[in-house]
Structure 1
Amino acid sequence: MLNKGIVFILFIGLLVSCSNTDWRDASREPAGIAVDPTKEKRAVIEVYAADAFSWRGWFAVHTWIAVKPQDAAEYTVYEVVGWRVKSGLPALRIYQTATPDRYWYGAKPQKLLSLQGDKAKQLIPEISEAVARYPWANEYTLFPGPNSNTFPQWVGLQVPELGLELPFRALGSGYAD
């Protein structure tokens, strides 16, 4: 039987070795899984999830939504980020980029949803309207929410035709229900 001190040391060692401890050095490179906006002229909607930063990634993911209107050269990315609130900014972040599939501070994203063409073209205005009505745009609470997973879940509830299903590890998504 292992003594509690040894178990604690093993746990701390695992924690340190399996997590990136400095967010400034963590990769934010594109993962290469997004539809290329310079090649795809049709409208595109994509939703991504990546392991949360550091040890939180063992238990939870961070999720975000990217939309590219027809003929647009860039995506609009919508996400909620907690550190922004601590800096006096809204938790809801909206920005333009050609690469919406960037690593989330060292964690490679996976695509949860990808819609292209007429259905995406029809749903993008509805998504934009839902984003504008998001009730917790200036709030962030790690658990139970509202957090980065509450946001896409809420948008998905407002736009059910999106068919968005977040993974079990999207902690805080139930806050929107």
Structure 2
Amino acid sequence: PAGIASTPYLDTRAIVEFYTADAFSWRGWFAVHPWVAVKAKNATEYKVYQVMRWQVSSTKSAIRQHKTPTPDRYWYGSKSELLLSIKGEEAAELIPKVQAAVALYLWKYEYSVFLGPNSNTFIAWIGLQVLELNLELPLSAIGSGYAKKLTANRRCGVKLRAIQRIYLII
């Protein structure tokens, strides 16, 4: 780990964090790979969500999720950097919205390194659907603009807001 994230069994607050690290291999010269980590109040691990191109097909999703006590890991030798950290009650309110955006990601079965959809598209999608995050991606988040093309017409946002309300009621 990079020593950025709170130790989950010591920090009992809910946490939402977004990270980036230089992309794999030569792509790291100009691009980043992002991911999001969420931790519910009193949880002992974070849930990490990211998109990866390995083994993506029409039946295998690009979205990968796993649990870990250290979401601030290195990415193929590149140290992670924290983009955004929200803790406490605000994070507790945002976690179901972030998870709803993950579940409704439109390009689960697609991946294109340049321009998108890719890992940066995924994180941009979450930021566009959960506006309260005020998430800003770096210029090196190549592919983040792909999500803006579709969400600009607001139809996806309206649909997601309705589904988020259902998640929050349950």
Cα distance in 1 for partners of 2:122, 2:22 equals 16
User: How big is each residue's C-alpha offset from its partner over 1:80-104, in whole Å with a ceiling of 9 and x where there is no partner?
Assistant: 0011316x63110011111111100
Find the counterpart in structure 1 of residue 123 from structure 2: 152
In 1: Cα distance, 2:3 partner to 2:63 partner: 25
Using the size of structure 1 for normalisation, the TM-score is: 0.81
Determine the C-alpha separation between the residues in 1 that align with 2:21 and 2:27: 11
1:100 corresponds in structure 2 to 71
Q: Which 4+ residue blocks in structure 1 deviate beyond 3 angstroms?
A: none
**Pair 1:47-2:18 in alignment:** yes
User: Partner amino acid for 2:125?
Assistant: W
CA distance in 1, matches of 2:138, 2:7: 25
Shift of 1:67: 0.2
Aligned pairs for 1:135-174 (under 5 A) are: 135-174=106-145
**1:14-163 counterparts in 2 under 5 A?**
30-85=1-56, 89-163=60-134
| C-alpha deviation, 1:151, in angstroms | 0.3
Tell me the TM-score normalized by structure 2: 0.84
Gaps of 5+ in 2: 149-170
Identity of paired residues, percent?
Answer: 59
Q: 1:18-42, CA deviations, whole angstroms, 9 ceiling, x for partnerless residues? A: xxxxxxxxxxxx1111111111101
Deviations 1:113-151 (A, max 9, x none): 000001100000011111110011111101110000000
Q: Deviation at 1:54?
A: 1.1
Quick check: 1:175 aligned with 2:114? no
Question: What is the number of residues matched between the two proteins?
Answer: 148
